[in-house]
Amino acid sequence: MKYKNLRLAFLIEIFVGFTTIISIALLGPKAIAVISLIALRPVFMKREEIKEPLLYFEKFYKILSSSFAIIFIMIIIIIVMILFLPALKSKLPPLEVLFVVILPFFILTHGVLGLINSSDLEK
């Protein structure tokens, strides 16, 4: 089963990811609870059968693996900045806040990449 309107589903992911990042910036790591808004998506959106499952899952895998690659690069950049640029370490937020933001960034990048590729998925 897939959502009937994939563009709206990916827009909801972008909205939840961005809102969670802003909440964490304003309220701290405990604001990660805002990410639970993504659980409301199945309540409001209709589903339909997947016509070509192999093609659909291939495209979805491409989006998912691209999102993981972007987040992996982000983690590497954070680690490099912390280890090799001590002047920037004092300007960065605490380490626990940086790693709490990774999940909302993943949702945000997954939504953006999915929105870009949604025309391929809806065929």
Structure tokens at 51: 């016509």
Q: Which of 35, 43, 45 is nearest to 15 (CA)?
A: 35
Instruction: Supply φ then ψ for residue 85, to 5 degrees.
Output: -125, 75
Interval 42-61: pLDDT, tens: 888 888 888 888 888 888 89
Phi, psi of 92 (to 5 degrees): -80, 155
- According to DSSP, the residues that pair with 48 across neighbouring strands are 2
* 7: nearest Cα among 39, 41, 31, 35: 41
- Lowest-confidence range among 32-36, 50-54, 118-122? 118-122
pTM of the model as a whole: 0.82
* 116 token code pair: 């870009």
How much is the pLDDT for 105? 92
Cα–Cα dist 42/24, whole Å: 24
Q: What is the 8-class DSSP label of residue 61?
A: H
DSSP state of 8: H
